[in-house]
Amino acid sequence: MKIQPPPGMRDFYPEDMRIQNWLFDHWRSASRVFGFVEYEGPIFEYLDLYRLKSGEEIVSQLFHFQDRGQREFAIRPEMTPTLARMVAARANSLPRPIKWFSIPRMCRSEKPQRGRLREFYQWNADILGVDDPLADAEVIAVAVEFLRQVGLTRDEVAIRISSRPVAAALLRSIGVAPDRADRAFALIDRHDKLPPEEFARQWDETFGRQAPAARLRDLLDRTTLETCLAIAAREADAARASEQVRELWRRLRDLGVAEYCEFDLNIVRGLAYYTGIIFELHRRKPGLRALLGGGRYDNLTAMLDGPSVPGVGFGMGDAPVLELLSKLPRLSEMIDAFLIDAAPEFFPSLIEIAGDLRRDGVAVDFSYKRQPISKQFKLAAGREARFAVIVGSELASANSLTLKNLGTGEQRLVLRDDLKAAIRS
Ligand code: HAM
């Protein structure tokens, strides 16, 4: 019986790993230039951590199981609850701001589709311990740093930003009662997955009497950042949120990333813990779902019975980003040198030379099978070696080897003692 990988899970052959590592290198380098440090957590957690903190949508996508002691666990579907748990446990001793990033592998029992898998990696960058919108701007800017590094321009992608409290105030302004804002957000979150008539029908069924769908459409489509903030500022409890959005925009401009950002009330985010600014990265052409999602969560550590530590951050999946990047660089795992024996009797010396070079950190390989020189050269080319080193009779006569640059074709005799330096130069 032939067994395939389970649906939505991937095998990573060496050529796929090269691409993964290329992506992770960019995620790491963007994080580091912004001063984030790396952390990790467990691959599974107590089920309750997600049941209590993540919200319905993610809980319905959990892979969970019981251990022999009947305890219930779930494979992590996201990193934020783990991060909040870790920070809550050391909240008093961690120096602020806490700027942490991670590249966890995680699972969600979603229907596999373009850019959405059941097992994926997700770059997380979060800042905790600061409630200044500058932190919100910094996490958005680190995402933009990555986009710039991989050549994604503002013509191809946009970071769409909203604010939960500002959006709630706007919903109140069209007649949605405050205690029904969450229900309204959940529906708005689904609005681009439903045909417009079906969305309007569902909306009117729930809110139609106080806030008809047409008024909502009007609000979502036509209202500019300035009008939104002006309406929200009139409501006592949204005035601060409105000022924070203004401040965020100033900081995005200061950091030189505002060109990638747009205000968009259609962004509501499915997760339950967001309390302030929320944002997603989308490609401008419709198609793929969000490439990144994040926001401010100021109550999460307190919900875990820790001290209150405000936080803001995002997650970016590997699968949607790789789907989008049409021009991946040509990556190779070049070795420094491929050793070739001119005849089988030189093979023991070849192994010795390989050992010496490897101990010095030179990446070297050779054929395990004794075969004609021309075939060994073919193997060297296949491995994209920079040099071929021919071990032949000159080793005995002059303690020398032939070094051939496989890029230029240039060939010369070098002393065995000078080989390492010649390869390195
Ligand atoms: P999320 O919106 O659930 O947020 O996921 C964030 C991103 O992870 C998505 O925009 C997408 O790029 C990627 N992603 C999600 N599901 C899948 C999937 N099935 N396959 C591939 N990629 C996927 C969160 O997870 C929050 N915890 C992010 C966050 C960090 N908020 C604050 N800090």
Please enumerate in sequence order all residues whose Cβ is within 8 A of that of 208, keeping only pairs 6 or more positions apart, or say none: none
Closest protein CA for atom 21 of ligand 1: 116
- CB 424: neighbour CB atoms within 10 A? 10
Is the C-beta atom of 320 inside 6 A of ligand 1?
yes
The predicted structure's pLDDT at residue 179: 87
Side-chain-facing half-sphere of 127: CA atoms under 13 Å: 22
Is the C-beta atom of 61 inside 6 A of ligand 1?
no
Closest protein CA for atom 20 of ligand 1: 116
Is the C-beta atom of 189 inside 6 A of ligand 1?
no
The predicted structure's pLDDT at residue 62: 94
Q: Where are the alpha helices (DSSP H) in 11-124?
A: 14-33, 47-53, 56-59, 80-89
Let me know: does 362 contact 418? Beta carbons within 8 Å.
no
DSSP state of 113: B
| Angle at 129 (CA atoms; ends 89, 59), nearest 5 degrees | 60
How far apart are the CA of 330 and the centre of ligand 1, in A? Answer: 28
- CB 226: neighbour CB atoms within 10 A? 10
Q: How far apart are CA 134 and CA 250, in angstroms?
A: 9
Is the C-beta atom of 127 inside 6 A of ligand 1?
no
Q: Can you give the pTM of this predicted structure?
A: 0.92
Is the C-beta atom of 54 inside 6 A of ligand 1?
no
For β-strands 119-128 and 311-317, DSSP reports them as: antiparallel
- Site of tokens 């806030």: 211
Q: How far apart are CA 369 and CA 308, in angstroms?
A: 64
Is the peptide bond between 97 and the residue preceding it cis, with omega within 30 degrees of 0? yes
Written as six digits, the tokens of 362 are: 């030179």
How far apart are the CA of 125 and the centre of ligand 1, in A? Answer: 12
Secondary structure class of 61 (helix, strand, coil): coil
For β-strands 157-163 and 411-415, DSSP reports them as: unpaired
Q: How far apart are CA 398 and CA 415, in angstroms?
A: 8
How far apart are the CA of 381 and the centre of ligand 1, in A? Answer: 41
Q: How far apart are CA 101 and CA 5, in angstroms?
A: 29
Q: How far apart are CA 56 and CA 121, in angstroms?
A: 22
How far apart are the CA of 130 and the centre of ligand 1, in A? Answer: 22
Is the C-beta atom of 126 inside 6 A of ligand 1?
yes
How far apart are the CA of 116 and the centre of ligand 1, in A? Answer: 10
The predicted structure's pLDDT at residue 70: 96
How far apart are the CA of 78 and the centre of ligand 1, in A? Answer: 7
Q: How far apart are CA 245 and CA 266, in angstroms?
A: 16
Is the C-beta atom of 211 inside 6 A of ligand 1?
no
How far apart are the CA of 121 and the centre of ligand 1, in A? Answer: 9
Burial class (CB within 10 angstroms; exposed 0-12, middle 13-18, buried 19+) of 90: exposed
Is the C-beta atom of 293 inside 6 A of ligand 1?
yes
Let me know: does 263 contact 277? Beta carbons within 8 Å.
no
Q: Which residues pair with 390 in a beta bridge?
A: 340, 402
Written as six digits, the tokens of 366 are: 């050779």
Q: How far apart are CA 305 and CA 293, in angstroms?
A: 25
Is the C-beta atom of 104 inside 6 A of ligand 1?
no
Return phi, psi of residue 338, to 5°.
-115, 125
Q: How far apart are CA 380 and CA 336, in angstroms?
A: 10
Residue of 31, 63, 78 best suited for mutating to test ligand 1, as the one with most atoms within 8 Å of CB: 78
- Site of tokens 């949605």: 176
DSSP state of 37: E
The predicted structure's pLDDT at residue 51: 84
Closest protein CA for atom 26 of ligand 1: 315
pLDDT in 10s for each residue of the chain, 425 residues: 899 999 999 999 999 999 999 999 999 999 999 999 999 999 999 999 998 766 667 778 999 999 999 999 999 999 999 999 999 999 999 999 999 999 999 999 999 998 899 999 999 999 999 999 999 999 999 999 999 999 999 999 999 999 999 999 999 988 998 888 888 988 888 887 789 899 899 999 988 888 888 888 888 887 788 888 888 888 877 899 999 999 999 999 999 999 999 999 989 887 788 999 999 999 998 776 899 999 999 999 998 888 999 999 999 999 999 999 977 888 888 899 999 999 999 999 999 999 999 999 999 999 999 999 999 999 999 999 999 999 999 999 999 999 999 999 999 999 999 999 999 98
Residue of 122, 301, 309 best suited for mutating to test ligand 1, as the one with most atoms within 8 Å of CB: 122
CA dist list (Å): 377 to 39, 47, 302: 44, 56, 64
The predicted structure's pLDDT at residue 55: 67
Let me know: does 150 contact 325? Beta carbons within 8 Å.
yes
The predicted structure's pLDDT at residue 112: 93
Please enumerate in sequence order all residues whose Cβ is within 8 A of that of 317, keeping only pairs 6 or more positions apart, or say none: 115, 116, 120, 121, 122, 291, 292
How far apart are the CA of 97 and the centre of ligand 1, in A? Answer: 23
Is the C-beta atom of 315 inside 6 A of ligand 1?
yes
Is the C-beta atom of 139 inside 6 A of ligand 1?
no
How far apart are the CA of 171 and the centre of ligand 1, in A? Answer: 26
Is the C-beta atom of 82 inside 6 A of ligand 1?
no
How far apart are the CA of 220 and the centre of ligand 1, in A? Answer: 24
Is the C-beta atom of 136 inside 6 A of ligand 1?
no
Q: Which residues pair with 99 in a beta bridge?
A: 127
Is the C-beta atom of 276 inside 6 A of ligand 1?
no
Alpha carbon 319 to its chain's center: 9
Let me know: does 274 contact 296? Beta carbons within 8 Å.
yes
